[in-house]
Chain A
Amino acid sequence: MASSNSLMDSLFQRSLEDLIKGLRLGESTFISRSLEEIRREIKLTDLSTKSVALQKLSYLAALHGVDMAWAAFHAVEVVSSSRFAHKRIGYHAIAQSFSDQTPVMLLITNQLRKDLNSSNEHEVSLALECLARIGTDDLARDLTSEVFTLLGSSKALVRKKAIGVVLRVFDKYPDAVKVCFKRLVENLESSDPQLLSAVVGVFCELTAKDPRSYLPLAPEFYKILVDSRNNWVLIKVLKIFAKLASIEPRLAKKVADPVCEHMRKQNVGKSLLFECIRTVFSSLSDQETALKLAVAKIREFLVDDDPNLKYLGLHALSIVAGKHLWAVLENKEAVVKAMSDEDPNVKLEALHLLMAMVNEDNVTEISRILMNYALKSDPLFCNEIIGSILVACSRDSYEIIVDFDWYVSLLGEMARVPHCQRGKEIEHQLIDIGTRVKDARLELVRVSRALLIDPALLGNQFLHPILSAAAWASGEYVEFSKSPYEIAEALLQPRTCLLPDSIRAIYIHSAFKVLVFSLGAYFSAQEPTSPPLAQESTSSGHSVVNGFTYNSISSLVNMIELGLCSLSGTIDVEVQERAKNVLGFIGMIKHEIAEKATSQNSETEAHRAIAFMEDVFSEELGPVSSTAQEKVPLPEGLELNENLEGLQEICREVLEPMAESDYSSDKVSFSVAKLRIRDQEEASSSLPPPLESSSLLAEHRKRHGLYYLSSQKSEDHNDREGNDNNTSNEYPPANEISVDSFKPKKKISKPRPVVVKLDEGDEPKRKPDASSSNDESLSRAIQTALMGKGKGKEKEKERVKENHEMNVDTENIEQSSRREKKNKKNGERSSKRSSRRQRGKEASVTKPVEVPDLLL
């Protein structure tokens, strides 16, 4: 069609229909060709051609993502046409594509004004719609008076739309309130339900942003609530009251009755019923009759076959679950049934409700049920379940957990769920529990061992974080393990090559800890008195002191050596370094093991080395508050910005990849990879001179700077003592909770273990959002307008008093300024004052007064 009529094409313009037909035949090239045509056509002076071109462009922009901002000026041209069809196309294009950044925005003001004053109601509609969608501050300011006129129009269609546009005008130009508010409020008394619906719609939006300012209008809204029969109107009024009643509890009492009336009606629309229930649940939940009625009605929703009603019913229940759990418990069967519904939304809501019901007594039971569901569900829901269990159990430092052994084994079980993708959170909790709950460490080590031994888990990348936690726990609390040899073997098995290098490094380090522990046990077993060992074996039934014979220890050492030999040549520097460190250590003490069997000399080099290493690992690591980093005081004389820019230049390529890693900088969470590992040299040898190693250290600190608890000074080692002091401050065992949560229950056999908590809390504090200045000025304008109405004598008296005060204040201010300024024109000034006072009094009666900020 297109190719055969090239002559026709050049003479005649393609209309929108032609464009659509052409697009259906073949797309991408057609779009670019059409765009060229449009660009040509739109520049012609003939308005009809221009408008068709604009129409085509609008179509392409909306449905095919073509940019049309360049045609803004042409849209203004089209809109100026006298023909209605052109105006439609022009306004449509403007409403669709103009924004605050459009430069030609100023040009449409006059056209809008003309059209707003038109006698044709549809032209007025077009202009109003345009203003409602793209109105800027300037447009709103310039067209306020036109809007004011239209608010009183006799044509219902125009009036409705004028009411609708008021929302945008108020938002952009708060001073418009002075002009238009009165008429807006008058419409609240209209008998036309459509008009009323428009007005309450506007108030619903306004109240949502700033409820307090609209409290004085509550009586009008109440009247509508009681009288109206139109569902749309009632729904909006209910939403308004939901917001108002939550800040003004006395209102809740008053409104409860009409709301109940509506709920009790026969054949009440489901939408209205739902809104009533939602209002009761969110803001009137203190009103007993209303609450009971609402809960009874929501049950109807829950048992309905319609999935929409079921979903909405569950959703509404979750609103009230916080304060009135009994409502949820009453409907427990419906909730549990909904867990196996085919609708994903319904399942999710049911899950949230179940989690709301969780407490100390039933956490094991509910977790059991949920884990069964998780195993049977699709991956998405499975992870939702696991996620919500993790969140609920870890809230407030594991408040609802009494039996930590059970919880730790549950965490291990989660790792074995096929679809589990919550590795990071599980890792975090395993380590967190390890550091906080001493009594759970035995179980932790047991679970970790099971996870480490299993070679199949190494292949699943989602489980790597969990394995990393298991490795760390096995190393840190190796004293609880039954067979350190097994642990070391598991940590160095060949399949660990599947792990990412960072986790591999942790594995090696844990193997090192196991080695040190075993050696320490072996060597001190030879001696009658062994003070360091007494610190080590904290748990009574698990001392492996006597378990190490010469054969077993040498096989352990050999196995570790063999396992690490292959790694001494890996590409990753951290893995290589750690492997070499351990191998070096082994090399240092290996020959002594054989000798140990014979000699009793405790002063050998190996002995000292092992004693040092035990010392390194003997300090207990505790939980770190997330605000700890901020609390570190800057040492005197530290210039943080001094030479770091220089480093930035040099290290840019090195630093950039680091910046992309996903460590969150605002939370110093206790993840294994961020542990500060002290180098062996630091522990056992004297401090090296600053100059040589400072650059390396600086490098290291730069790369891992986030994770260093000390300050960022790169060359000063003198504050190492200061560091230690800081370190010891940040692991306070000071705030252990007392064991008062022990309640006598049939099922619990042992008391809840002690959980270390921190003073400052563990969550980073969130800063409140700053409200915009436009919102504030709107609130002020509304409050002024409502006070200026002067309803009731009290308000009058209040205001007159305020005016008096204001006048007195201005008088005082004036007096003081007069004293300061020594003005000769006294007569003039006093006359000004008195006239101002008079004007002030008049204003209080006729127009709303501009009350200054100090008095509001």
Chain B
Amino acid sequence: MIKAVMMMNTQGKPRLAKFYDFLPVEKQQELIRGVFSVLSSRPENVSNFLEIDSLFGPDSRLVYKHYATLYFVLVFDGSENELAMLDLIQVLVETLDKCFSNVCELDIVFNYSKMHTVLDEIVFGGQVLETRSDEIMKAVEEISKLEAASNSISLVPKSVSGWRGGR
């Protein structure tokens, strides 16, 4: 089972953090900081796996990938295959790429909601749900359409950025 998914930048700021077991917010922040301190001390060109029993409990493993300014992190236990998890990060990044075309950190920062939509179609309650990025994209697009449709009922924009004619 997958215990957590995290995206953080090279300064340790979390951009996305999802924990599949309930944890109070302070513990979550502690874990994010812990993971960052471990990752930042890793040299380049080494393996992408870490044992992190001290942070997440027994039988916990972590796989991470460093893309430009972001670390993508998956925390899982013995029911998942390590190389498969590495592939899953690849799937996630590819899907984001399709979503945003040449995705960069800013896209992830400003599209918090969409990020979760994508992630929720890949990992469901800690289990891997879908690994084909086309299928994921299909579902994400449908959801976005539904959302937009349900929001277009109001004619007067209710947010500041709406008023300013922003996105």
Could you tell me which A residues sit within 8 Å of B by CB distance?
5, 8-9, 12-18, 20, 24, 48-49, 52, 55, 59, 61-63, 65-68, 83-86, 88, 92, 96, 98-100, 120, 122, 125, 128-129, 132-134, 157, 160-161, 164-165, 167-168, 194, 197-198, 201-202, 204-205, 208, 231-232, 235-236, 239, 269-271, 274-275, 307-308, 310-312, 342-346
Which residues of A lie under 8 Å from residue B116 when comparing CB positions? 92
Q: A16-B113, A63-B17, A65-B25 are in contact. Are A164 and B127 (CB under 8 A)?
A: yes
CB distance from A741 to the nearest CB of B (A): 36
Q: Are A167 and B43 in contact (CB under 8 A)?
A: no
CB distance from B83 to the nearest CB of A (A): 4
Task: Pick the contact of A312: B83, B130, B149 (CB < 8 A).
Answer: B83
Most chain A beta carbons < 10 A, residue from B78, B81, B161, B166: B81
CB<8 Å pairs between A and B, sample of 11? A16-B113, A20-B110, A48-B154, A83-B151, A161-B124, A168-B125, A198-B129, A231-B84, A271-B83, A271-B84, A307-B47
Q: Are A161 and B129 in contact (CB under 8 A)?
A: yes
Q: Are A204 and B129 in contact (CB under 8 A)?
A: no
Which chain B residue lies CB-closest to A273? Answer: B83
B94 in contact (CB, < 8 A): no
CB distance from A684 to the nearest CB of B (A): 53
CA A164 to CA B127, docked complex, whole Å: 7
B86 in contact (CB, < 8 A): yes
CA A755 to CA B8, docked complex, whole Å: 55
B20 in contact (CB, < 8 A): yes
CB distance from A482 to the nearest CB of B (A): 47
Q: Are B110 and A343 in contact (CB under 8 A)?
A: no
CB distance from B23 to the nearest CB of A (A): 9
Q: Are A274 and B83 in contact (CB under 8 A)?
A: yes
CA A580 to CA B128, docked complex, whole Å: 72
B68 in contact (CB, < 8 A): no
Which residues of B lie under 8 Å from residue A86 when comparing CB positions? 150
CB distance from B156 to the nearest CB of A (A): 10
Q: A63-B14, A63-B15, A345-B46 are in contact. Are A5 and B129 (CB under 8 A)?
A: no
Q: Are A48 and B84 in contact (CB under 8 A)?
A: no
Q: Are A83 and B83 in contact (CB under 8 A)?
A: no
Q: Flag B126-163 by CB within 8 Å of A: 1 or 0 each.
A: 11111100010001001100110111011000111111
B104 in contact (CB, < 8 A): no
Which residues of A lie under 8 Å from residue B128 when comparing CB positions? 197, 201, 232
Which residues of A lie under 8 Å from residue B54 when comparing CB positions? none
Q: A85-B151, A205-B79 are in contact. Are A17 and B167 (CB under 8 A)?
A: yes
Which residues of A lie under 8 Å from residue B113 when comparing CB positions? 16, 55, 88
Q: Flag B80-94 by CB within 8 Å of A: 1 or 0 each.
A: 011110110000000
B109 in contact (CB, < 8 A): yes
Task: Pick the contact of A9: B22, B139, B160, B161 (CB < 8 A).
Answer: B160
CB distance from B60 to the nearest CB of A (A): 14
Which residues of B lie under 8 Å from residue A61 when comparing CB positions? 25
Give 7 closest A-B pairs by Cβ, nearest first. A132-B125, A271-B83, A15-B159, A343-B46, A65-B29, A311-B47, A83-B150
Which chain B residue lies CB-closest to A52? Answer: B159
Most chain A beta carbons < 10 A, residue from B16, B125, B147, B163: B125
CA A15 to CA B17, docked complex, whole Å: 20
CA A382 to CA B22, docked complex, whole Å: 38
Q: Are B79 and A239 in contact (CB under 8 A)?
A: yes
Q: Are A164 and B125 in contact (CB under 8 A)?
A: yes
Q: Are B125 and A129 in contact (CB under 8 A)?
A: yes
Which chain B residue lies CB-closest to A240? Answer: B79
B48 in contact (CB, < 8 A): yes
Q: Are A134 and B160 in contact (CB under 8 A)?
A: no
CA A558 to CA B109, docked complex, whole Å: 77
Task: Pick the contact of A164: B51, B129, B160 (CB < 8 A).
Answer: B129
CA A37 to CA B33, docked complex, whole Å: 28
Task: Pick the contact of B18: A62, A122, A205 (CB < 8 A).
Answer: A62
Which residues of A lie under 8 Å from residue B139 when comparing CB positions? 122, 157
Which residues of B lie under 8 Å from residue A132 when comparing CB positions? 124-126
Which residues of B lie under 8 Å from residue A133 when comparing CB positions? 20, 125
CB distance from B112 to the nearest CB of A (A): 6
Task: Pick the contact of B79: A13, A17, A208 (CB < 8 A).
Answer: A208
CA A197 to CA B128, docked complex, whole Å: 8
Bin chain B's interface residue count: 35 or more
CB-based A-B contact count at 8 angstroms: 173
Q: A63-B15, A83-B150, A345-B46 are in contact. Are A308 and B83 (CB under 8 A)?
A: yes
Q: Are A275 and B47 in contact (CB under 8 A)?
A: no
CB distance from B18 to the nearest CB of A (A): 7
Q: Are A14 and B159 in contact (CB under 8 A)?
A: yes
Q: A62-B17, A129-B125 are in contact. Are A48 and B158 (CB under 8 A)?
A: yes
Which residues of B lie under 8 Å from residue A168 when comparing CB positions? 125
Which residues of A lie under 8 Å from residue B56 when comparing CB positions? none
Q: Other than the known A133-B125, A201-B128, A275-B81, what 17 A-B pairs have Cβ atoms closer than 8 Å?
A: A12-B162, A16-B112, A17-B159, A20-B110, A24-B109, A48-B158, A49-B158, A84-B149, A100-B22, A122-B146, A160-B129, A167-B127, A198-B127, A201-B127, A269-B83, A271-B81, A312-B82
CA A271 to CA B84, docked complex, whole Å: 6
CA A195 to CA B47, docked complex, whole Å: 32
CA A49 to CA B154, docked complex, whole Å: 12
Q: A59-B112, A122-B143, A208-B79 are in contact. Are A65 and B160 (CB under 8 A)?
A: no
CA A96 to CA B18, docked complex, whole Å: 8
Which residues of A lie under 8 Å from residue B162 when comparing CB positions? 12, 15
CA A68 to CA B25, docked complex, whole Å: 8
CA A275 to CA B150, docked complex, whole Å: 46
Which residues of B lie under 8 Å from residue A236 when comparing CB positions? 79
CA A255 to CA B49, docked complex, whole Å: 29
Q: Are A165 and B125 in contact (CB under 8 A)?
A: yes
Which residues of B lie under 8 Å from residue A55 when comparing CB positions? 113
Which residues of A lie under 8 Å from residue B79 when comparing CB positions? 204-205, 208, 236, 239
Q: Are A274 and B129 in contact (CB under 8 A)?
A: no
CA A24 to CA B146, docked complex, whole Å: 30
CA A554 to CA B69, docked complex, whole Å: 74
B55 in contact (CB, < 8 A): no
Q: Are B159 and A5 in contact (CB under 8 A)?
A: no
Q: Flag B52-69 by CB within 8 Å of A: 1 or 0 each.
A: 000000000000000000
CA A342 to CA B48, docked complex, whole Å: 13
Which residues of B lie under 8 Å from residue A157 when comparing CB positions? 139
CA A128 to CA B124, docked complex, whole Å: 9
B107 in contact (CB, < 8 A): no
Which residues of A lie under 8 Å from residue B103 when comparing CB positions? none
Which chain B residue lies CB-closest to A231? Answer: B84
Task: Pick the contact of B25: A13, A66, A98 (CB < 8 A).
Answer: A66
